[in-house]
Amino acid sequence: MLECVGYGATAASTPVAPFSFNRRDPGPDDVVIKIAYCGVCHSDLHQVRNEWRNTVYPCVPGHEIVGHIVAVGKNVTKFHEGEAAGVGCMVGSCRTCAACKEGLENYCEVGFNATYNGVDPIIGGPTFGGYSDSIVVDQHFVLKIPEGMDLAATAPLLCAGITTYSPLKHWGAGPGKKVGIVGLGGLGHMGLKIAHAMGAHTVLFTTSAGKTEDAKKLGADEVVISKDPAAMAAQGETFDFILDTVAADHPIDAYLGLLKRDGTLCQVGAPENPLSIAVFSVIWRRRSFAGSLIGGIPETQEMLDFCAKHGLVADIEMIAMDKIEDAYARMLKSDVKYRFVIDMATLPKAA
Ligand SMILES: [Zn+2]
Ligand SMILES: [Zn+2]
């Protein structure tokens, strides 16, 4: 077994704290990555506090992982030692269903194996995520980090980047298209950068006027204060696509009403309670209300290559591992621009 140190939670009510654990010995198809940085996703907080009521403890979160390869199994052809590599939300899938064969492992028909709170296929027990010194992953689920990318600022691309890239690509964001991004948090700020780089006319919707300047710097062509009915009405029915990243309850009809005929609103933020929609909002112009879940492995690599080509990374605030609970508290107040990233050099050597 590979002995690891990290930070994890042993129950929903206990803070994330130093934790020692074992990972499987690397097999012939595995890559061992020494983790340099791990992004802090809102899912980490939901999972450690059992807010989705499915957490298996102990729980070591983290699915925005970057680092360097320190060992490869004998069947590994895609990677070599010393190379920079990343791991996102998945570490396994059936590899045989129609979705997996299309490279859409995120939609695996039997369910993908999650980077944390999944099940290790060799040793059983939960998979442990990136708040740790190293990780063992099948090469199929490891991503190449293009040369020259800032490693720490690349970490959030593995979840926030692909979660926004995939729907923007799927619904054709590009030149001649008008795209809305709702919310300027971890997801929204990446959605904004990517939609702008794809060449779409990009409009950010936010409730706070204080975010206007930032949004423009990040790539917004226009910023609309969504609480202002006149500003919303002034947009008319002009959007081809709107990507909604907001995870709190909010009125969807106001956004559906801004779509052109056949336009789509895609939800990637996941509010806890069901959203209500006036059905005429979609009947009226044959509009669609849709959702999207991260992206497949080939598309995640494509996203990293796209971001490298366009010089895109996340805007981050680096934290030491022992500041994770403070980071969670600030995240709940949206007090971060725009993603926390943990510097794994700050991990204790033993837990
Ligand atoms: Zn995430
Ligand atoms: Zn599958």
Note the pLDDT tens digit of each residue in 246-277.
998 899 999 999 999 999 999 999 888 899 99
| Ligand index nearest the alpha carbon of residue 112 | 2
* Closest ligand, as measured to the CA of 99: 2
Give the three-state DSSP class for 326. helix
Cα dihedral sign, 301-317-56-65: positive
Instruction: Give distance in angstroms: CA of 144 to centre of ligand 2.
Output: 22
How is residue 91 written in tokens?
């570490």
Beta-bridged to residue 136, according to DSSP, are 32
* pLDDT for the residue 351: 66
pLDDT bracket for residue 349 (50, 70, 90) = confident
Does residue 303 come out as left (phi exceeding 0), alpha (psi in the -120 to 50 range) or beta? alpha
Q: Give the containing element (helix H, strand E) for 244.
A: strand 239-244
- The 10 Å Cβ neighbour count of residue 78 is 15
Distance from residue 294's CA to the centre of ligand 2 (Å): 15
CA–CA–CA angle 154, 41, 101 (5° rounding): 70
Which ligand does the CA of 269 lie closest to? 1
13 CA distance to ligand 2 middle (Å):
34
> What is the pLDDT averaged over residues 179-203?
97
Distance of alpha carbon 92 from alpha carbon 226, whole angstroms:
40
Q: Does residue 134 surpass a pLDDT of 80?
A: yes
pLDDT in tens, 22-58: 999 999 999 999 999 999 999 999 999 999 899 999 9
Given this model, what pLDDT does residue 58 score? 96
82 Cβ contact list (under 8 Å, min separation 6): 68, 69
Inter-CA distances, 220 with 180, 185, 190, 281, 308, Å: 9, 14, 11, 26, 20
Average pLDDT over every residue of 115-125:
95
- Going by C-alpha positions, the residue among 123, 103, 155, 138 that lies closest to residue 304 is 155
Residue recorded with tokens 């999944």 = 118
Q: What would the mean pLDDT of 213-221 be, rounded to a whole number? A: 96
SS3 for 95-155 is CCCHHHHCCCHHHCCCCCEECCCCECCCCCCECCCCCECEEEEEHHHCEECCCCCCHHHHH
- The string of pLDDT tens digits covering residues 139-179 is 999 999 999 999 999 999 999 999 999 999 999 999 999 99
Predicted confidence band of residue 233 (pLDDT cuts 50, 70, 90)? very high
8 Å CB contact between 133 and 70: no
CA of 171 to the centre of ligand 1 (A): 21
Is residue 350 scored above 80 in pLDDT? Answer: no
Centre of ligand 2 from the C-alpha of residue 97, in Å? 4
Of the listed ligands, the closest to the CA of 105 is 2
Spatial separation of the C-alpha atoms in residues 43 and 50, rounded to whole Å: 10
Average pLDDT over residues 201-216: 96
Residue 115: pLDDT band (50, 70, 90) is very high
DSSP one-letter code for 201: E
Ligand showing the shortest atom-to-Cα distance for residue 114? 1
| Type of residue numbered 164 | T
Give the pLDDT score at 270. 87
Task: Kindly report, residue by residue over 296-319, the tens digit of the pLDDT.
Answer: 999 999 999 999 999 999 999 999
CA of 105 to the centre of ligand 2 (A): 6
pLDDT in tens, 12-21: 999 999 999 9
Closest ligand to C-alpha of residue 103 is 2
Report which bound ligand comes closest to the CA of 46: 1
* Domains, the chain: 2-159+295-346 (3.90.180.10), 161-291 (3.40.50.720)
> Nearest to residue 130, comparing CAs of 82, 88, 72?
88
